[in-house]
Amino acid sequence: MLIGIVGGTGPAGSSLAVRLSSLGHTVLVGSRTEEKALGVVRELREQDGLVGPIRGASNFEAVSGELVFIATPWDGAQSTARSLAKELVGKTVISMVNALLKVGVEMQPLALARGSAAQSIQAALPESFVVSALHHVPARELGDLGKAVDCDILVCSDHPDSKEKVIGLLDSVPGLVALDAGSLANSGAIEAMTAVLINLNIRYRARTALRITGIERD
Ligand SMILES: NC(=O)c1ccc[n+]([C@@H]2O[C@H](COP(=O)([O-])OP(=O)(O)OC[C@H]3O[C@@H](n4cnc5c(N)ncnc54)[C@H](OP(=O)(O)O)[C@@H]3O)[C@@H](O)[C@H]2O)c1
């Protein structure tokens, strides 16, 4: 699959690119500045274990992917999505954006008018199929190809076919289990939980992730 990542030059997007390319997908790492994306991809290539097909691109080029991830900070996500709305018509767009604010030493969830970053992106992309996913997976673990990723992914969307497609893709990542968490209205709770995990990381000097109990697994 050809997969684009808007804002792919940060820790979240670039580790996702490394992981997806290791599974044989061609990944376009998008940036507001193509030169920056080319530099980031050059650095990723120099890292041990990166063998998959991966290219630096502008955000505009990155949205040519069959699936498009948005991996920018929350405050740039809606305007970025809006600027690419025409190119994203009819596509599945995955938001991994968390609406969080640092207050003193603590991370706190931010109450956005539409309920979540994912719903703001859906409002900016009325003709696209927005799926919310990957909020809790720590970037470092996602990008470490030497290990399986020990994490459940809560996936929500108002578009069942797109949700299924994304669950299928994420389930193919060793260790990840993607769970259907309902409609996009649930994204606020999922994004907010990220603040809790980050605060646990700070308090216990840890890198926490979520595993849901009570679901029968294979
Ligand atoms: N880090 C994690 O472990 C993790 C895990 C799960 C989810 N997330 C979520 O994923 C998103 C990205 O996380 P990150 O840590 O990679 O963030 P980041 O490094 O702060 O930002 C990622 C990229 O977004 C672009 N960007 C920055 N400000 C922007 C703006 N105002 N408008 C458009 N693009 C902008 C930048 O790329 P260019 O300058 O190249 O355009 C930057 O490299 C966040 O919403 C975060 O909550 C993070």
- pLDDT confidence of residue 184: 98
- pLDDT confidence of residue 14: 96
Does ligand 1 come within 6 angstroms of the Cβ of 74?
yes
- pLDDT confidence of residue 49: 60
- pLDDT confidence of residue 108: 97
CATH for 2-204, among 2.60.260.20, 3.40.50.2000, 3.40.50.410, 3.40.50.720?
3.40.50.720
- pLDDT confidence of residue 47: 78
- pLDDT confidence of residue 117: 98
- Hey, what amino acid is at 28? L
Closest CA to 35 of 58, 67, 69, 6: 58
Does ligand 1 come within 6 angstroms of the Cβ of 124?
no
Q: Which two tokens stand for residue 33?
A: 């500045």
- pLDDT confidence of residue 17: 96
- pLDDT confidence of residue 217: 84
Does ligand 1 come within 6 angstroms of the Cβ of 138?
yes
Q: What is the mean pLDDT of each run of 10 residues along the chain (218 residues)?
A: 98 96 95 97 81 91 97 98 98 97 95 96 98 96 93 98 98 97 98 97 94 91
Please state the domain extents for the chain: 2-204
- pLDDT confidence of residue 50: 66
DSSP string, the chain: -EEEEETTTSHHHHHHHHHHHHTT-EEEEEESSHHHHHHHHHHHHHSTT--S-EEEEEHHHHTTSSEEEE-S-HHHHHHHHHHTTTTTTT-EEEE----EEEETTEEEE---TTSSHHHHHHHH-TTSEEEE--SSS-HHHHH-TTS---EEEEEEES-HHHHHHHHHHHHTSTTEEEEE--SGGGHHHHHHHHHHHHHHHHHHT--------SS---
Does ligand 1 come within 6 angstroms of the Cβ of 28?
no
What is the CB-side half-sphere exposure of residue 151 using CA atoms within 13 A?
22
Instruction: Show Cβ contacts of residue 77 under 8 Å, excluding neighbours closer than 6 positions.
Output: 7, 70, 95, 97, 117, 120, 121
- In the block, which residue shows the tokens 């260790």? 175
Residue closest via CA to ligand 1's atom 29 equals: 76
How far apart CA 191 and CA 98 sit, in angstroms, is: 5
